[in-house]
Amino acid sequence: MKFICVILLFFAGITDSRADEYEVIGPSAPVMTVSGEDVILPCSIKPNISAVNMRVQWIRLDLKGSIVHRYEDHKDINTDQLQSYRGRTQVFKEELEKGNTSLKLSRVQISDEGLYKCFIQSESWYDDVNVDLKVEAVGRLPVVTVDGFDASGGLRLHCESKGWNPEPDLVWLNSEGVTLTSESTDTHRDDTDGFSVKHMITVYNTDTKYHCRVRMNHHMMEAEIITSSKLFLSWRSSVILISVAVVLGVTGVILITVFVCKKRERQREKQRLQREKHRLQNEDQRILKERETLTQREKGTVESVTSLLRKHAVNVTLDADSAHPRLIVSHEGKQVRYEDKQHETVKNEDTGHKNKFDERQCVLGDEGFSSGCFYYEVQVKGVDWWRVGVTRESAQRKGWFDLNPQNGYWTVCLRYGYYWAGENRVDLSLSVKPERIGVFVDYEKSRVSFYYVESMCHIHSFTDQSFTKKLYPVFSLGYYLYYSSGSLIICDLS
């Protein structure tokens, strides 16, 4: 009977642990829209539970995780939103109760085209989905211009059209509809105005009609020009006369304008330099005094904190045998980087070592500590997805699990452009991006603290923990199949 009760309690625990899990779903195909229109990027929770108390965040993945829209604590928080999206995004707050977290994007621009991530986080779970937005823009009517004659007597014709997305096809056709070969092609793409295309041909026939046609998907625009014999004759004569007149006129205007402008500019510049000189002298004196005062104060504080912590510095070397197959440890054991292998390859690699991570992309230090205080520093400059801290010797290594104190992991991390303590539990508000993180452990006081080394500012501390066994330094790069650039470097404090 006791055995049956244990089994029932076990399955009840599994059911409770999954009760708060959900799946974020989005469209399976790209969302198509037209420039200037409004569009809705679909995203919802399955099953349809309320998202009112959750964190809903839309991110541009192709712009290095820049924030498009954020909803949190029952309100929109867009202080860190991309400037180009200001006033154009909203979630449907009346739909959040139904689990609908879709984003409305107003007055769509060509620059809005890209890959978006819908990230939803509750108190105990999070999930995300990618949404690909394609923006179509119909450009302007092509413009045909005459660019004079070449050495062989042929008339050069240019055709140009702007404002298309995606890139259109531009072709020249003669009066019989036969496609002509362009002698030069110039295509340019601007994030705001889209594609502009320009083709040139040289023609020799008079009294003939030529067509310039631009086509994109089901849109087509066309312009035409007739090369009459009068055009050939008048163009040759006018080109010579206009060229001479223009050269003489422009030369005269330029000389007069340059003389007048330079004289006025010299006078204004002289006055401006005098004013600027006095202003800079006063400003330099003020800044010098403030800098001397601040430097003396900051130098004393930073040096005292640094000296105190580094008294407990330890020599950390990475344990390559514990590293996840996607992490590459340097020969001397002081650096680790992420290598983007295929998922199938990683599965087939040897993960039999008892301390080797097979799901979480982590690596341990080779020496553990079970008393006193110890301190180390790690360089995170240039790494866009990292985690550092300490872990319990008996903590889980195999499978997928949360890197939190309950599982024996005390860490801070950078993910999605945010700094967190633990596994997405405490959001750290750092005004300056750290380049080096200091980790300090007081074993007897059961405390783990993290510092921004450059200014020795305190970042976060885990207090009142339970330490009974050895603690090992732990490091992580990337997340599941998310690629992380750069290397974590263990700093030499000797």
Which pLDDT value is given to residue 56? 95
Which pLDDT value is given to residue 332? 95
Which pLDDT value is given to residue 425? 64
- Residues 427, 424: Cα–Cα separation, whole Å: 7
The answer, yes or no, to whether residue 186 has pLDDT greater than 80, is yes
The answer, yes or no, to whether residue 161 has pLDDT greater than 70, is yes
- What tokens appear for 94 in the block? 């009346």
* % of the chain residues with pLDDT over 90: 44
What is the mean pLDDT of the segment spanning 409-434?
Answer: 82
Which pLDDT value is given to residue 411? 94
Q: What angle do CA 20, 26, 32 make, to 5 degrees?
A: 165
Q: What's the chain look like in SS3? A: CHHHHHHHHHHHHHHHHCCCCCEEECCCCCEEEECCCCEEECCEEECCCCCCCCEEEEEEHHHCCEEEEEEECCEECCCCCCHHHCCCEEECHHHHCCCECCEEECCCCHHHCEEEEEEEECCCCEEEEEEEEEEEECCCCCEEEEEEECCCCCEEEEEEEEEEECCCEEEEECCCCCEECCCEEEEEEECCCEEEEEEEEEECCCCEEEEEEEEECCEEEEEEEEECHHHHHHHHHHHHHHHHHHHHHHHHHHHHHHHHHHHHHHHHHHHHHHHHHHHHHHHHHHHHHHHHHHHHHHHHHHHHHHHHHHCCECCCCEEHHHCCCCEEECCCCCEEEECCCCHHHHHHCCCCCCCCCCCCCEEEECCCECCCEEEEEEECCCCCCEEEEEEECCCCCCCCCCCCHHHCEEEEEEECCEEEECCCCEEECCCCCCCEEEEEEECCCCEEEEEECCCCEEEEEECCCCCCCCEEEEEEECECCECCCCEEEECCCC
pLDDT, tens only, 192-246: 788 999 888 888 776 688 889 999 887 888 888 887 666 555 555 555 565 667 6
Task: Tell me the pLDDT band of 444, cut-offs 50, 70 and 90.
Answer: very high
Lowest mean pLDDT among 238-247, 392-401, 454-463: 238-247
Which pLDDT value is given to residue 238? 56
- Residues 82, 96: Cα–Cα separation, whole Å: 23
The answer, yes or no, to whether residue 330 has pLDDT greater than 60, is yes
What is the mean pLDDT of the segment spanning 147-157?
Answer: 77
The answer, yes or no, to whether residue 288 has pLDDT greater than 60, is yes
pLDDT, tens only, 25-59: 999 999 999 999 999 999 999 999 999 999 999 99
Which pLDDT value is given to residue 178? 84
Which pLDDT value is given to residue 446? 92
Which pLDDT value is given to residue 347? 47
The answer, yes or no, to whether residue 287 has pLDDT greater than 80, is no
Domains 143-227 and 318-490 share a fold: no
pLDDT, tens only, 263-282: 888 888 888 888 888 787 77
Task: Tell me the pLDDT band of 2, cut-offs 50, 70 and 90.
Answer: low
Task: Tell me the pLDDT band of 8, cut-offs 50, 70 and 90.
Answer: very low
Residue with tokens 């712009």: 63
pLDDT, tens only, 63-114: 887 999 999 999 999 889 999 999 999 999 999 999 999 999 999 999 999 9
Which pLDDT value is given to residue 157? 85
Which pLDDT value is given to residue 247? 74
Task: Tell me the pLDDT band of 9, cut-offs 50, 70 and 90.
Answer: very low
Q: Which of 358, 364, 356, 357 is nearest to 336 (CA)?
A: 364
Average pLDDT, the chain: 84
Architecture of domain 21-136: Sandwich (2.60)
> Domain 318-490: which topology?
Jelly Rolls (2.60.120)
Q: Is 457 exposed, middle or buried (0-12, 13-18, 19+ CB in 10 A)?
A: middle
pLDDT, tens only, 351-396: 456 679 998 999 999 999 999 999 999 999 989 889 999 999 999 9
Check: CB of residue 58 under 8 Å from CB of residue 39.
Answer: no
Max CA separation in the chain (angstroms): 111
What is the mean pLDDT of the segment spanning 341-357?
Answer: 57
Spell out the domain ranges in the chain.
21-136, 143-227, 231-306, 318-490
* % of the chain residues with pLDDT over 70: 84
Q: What is the CATH code for 143-227?
A: 2.60.40.10
Residue with tokens 């002298």: 281
**One-letter identity of residue 377:** E
